[in-house]
Amino acid sequence: MTINLKLFAIATITASTFANAATNTVDARGAGMGGVGVVSGSYLTAPFYNPALTAIYRRNDDAGMIIPALGLNYNDEYQMLDKIDNVVNLMNNGGSPEDVDSALNGLEGTDAKIDIGAAVAFGIPNRLLAATIYGQAYTENFAAPDIDTTGSNTAERVTRSGVKTMSVGIAEVGVSLAKYQTLFGQHFSFGISPKIQRVYTFTSVNTLNEFQLENIKESSLGETAFNLDAGALWFHGPMRVGFSAKNLMAREIQTASGTINVGGRDIHYGDIYKMNPVYTVGAGFVADYFQFSVDYDLNKAEKFSSFDDDTQALRAGLEVDLVRQIQLRAGYIRNMARDTEDTVTAGIGLSPLNLFDIHVAASYTSKNAMGAYLNLAASY
């Protein structure tokens, strides 16, 4: 068996119901700025950050679109994939019991994750009620070993050990609606995003030797529900302060569950995926040729119950615009829920003759945890 990160990504895409899935926010411009967007996003990316931004546009903007936005982010910081390869290779090539035992023990507590996806958006700015129609799909995919500790010998431990895979795929369509208002001499925008979500979950258990992520399709469930985002924005000149609330209608999704016998040992599979509200505040300086902003999640997002995938992010990013043709971006992300994950980001935007925009970005957490993003946009 040969497992590497490329196969991991390909298998994950195959396992999903989407030809291209997406991370929760697949916007290359924002990704290059550390994922900020509550005050610095555009009316086209408003559904992904803050619905209130839908009403913030230039006077000459009549319509706009993003087709498409793409993103991929992987994290194998514990080198789980290489370690599984190592165990299998040692067994197949006559490795000593001591070496195999050591390799098995090294798999304890490891996991790997990939998020993949895509999004589109169509914006219609107007003074009456600005609107941006959007659709996005994203998957969050995990794999973690379940290592036997009771086998009487090394070969039995390997035979009785397995790998659990867990995946959630969320497809949603909705519309962001926002209105600009002046209250007590202050400038505000308020917005909401009603949306329909279709949630798919996938689970599987395989032996170490048979582990392939495409087997994640073996146990799948799906359900559809309504949800809602909301947001607000205050601004005075280039100064902005904003608030965003995502997925206001909390849900807990139960995956398929059961027990699979692996080498005479029962391994239980199944999990709960939590989709609870996430509240984010943002502040920044947003001018024509320079932007700097900071976003902070007020609460922790807890996702799969059995995986260490909690997030509560502090994000900071800046953009420098060179004569409206080239935009240079950089950013920083700290996951406060884990406190050991620091990510740096960089990106570039190209606006040839202002006919359309190309945004490219990358993120780097470690040599085993990176991301890449791309989107095309145009406004008229």
Tell me, yes or no, whether 380 lies in a domain.
Answer: no
Spatial distance between the Cα atoms of 100 and 109, rounded to a whole number of angstroms: 17
- Token pair for residue 264? 């005479």
pLDDT in tens, 74-90: 889 889 989 999 999 99
pLDDT at 15: 34
Higher pLDDT, 18 or 357: 357
pLDDT in tens, 254-281: 888 889 999 999 999 888 999 999 999 9
Spatial distance between the Cα atoms of 133 and 23, rounded to a whole number of angstroms: 18
Tell me, yes or no, whether 262 lies in a domain.
Answer: yes
Tell me, yes or no, whether 196 lies in a domain.
Answer: yes
For residue 261, which amino acid is it? N
For residue 259, which amino acid is it? T
Tally of domains in the chain: 1
Closest of 132, 274, 283, 139 to residue 200, by C-alpha: 139
pLDDT of 380 > 90? The answer is no
Adjacent-strand bridge partners of 313: 335
pLDDT at 160: 95
Spatial distance between the Cα atoms of 241 and 295, rounded to a whole number of angstroms: 10
Q: With bands split at pLDDT 50, 70 and 90, how would you rate the model's confidence at 241?
A: very high
pLDDT in tens, 191-239: 999 999 999 998 889 899 888 656 666 667 788 999 999 999 999 999 9
pLDDT of 43 > 50? The answer is yes
Backbone angles phi, psi at 312, to 5 degrees: -155, 100
Pairing of strands 239-246, 278-286: antiparallel
Structural domain containing residue 227: 5-375
Tell me, yes or no, whether 200 lies in a domain.
Answer: yes
pLDDT in tens, 128-180: 999 999 999 998 888 899 999 888 899 999 999 999 988 899 999 999 999 99
DSSP at 4: -
- Average pLDDT (39-67) is 94
| CATH number of the domain to which 306 belongs | 2.40.160
Residue tagged 């980001």 (tokens): 345
Question: Angle of helix 80-92 relative to helix 97-107, nearest 10 degrees?
Answer: 160
| pTM for the structure as a whole | 0.88
Tell me, yes or no, whether 328 lies in a domain.
Answer: yes
Spatial distance between the Cα atoms of 157 and 130, rounded to a whole number of angstroms: 61
Tell me, yes or no, whether 213 lies in a domain.
Answer: yes
Q: How many other C-beta atoms can be found within 10 angstroms of the C-beta atom of residue 125?
A: 22
Tell me, yes or no, whether 325 lies in a domain.
Answer: yes
Question: Do you find a cis peptide bond into 51, omega within 30 degrees of 0?
Answer: no
Tell me, yes or no, whether 254 lies in a domain.
Answer: yes
Closest of 109, 86, 76, 368 to residue 208, by C-alpha: 86
Query: With DSSP H G I counted as helix, E B as strand and the rest as coil, what are the percentages for the chain, rounded to 5?
Result: 15, 55, 30
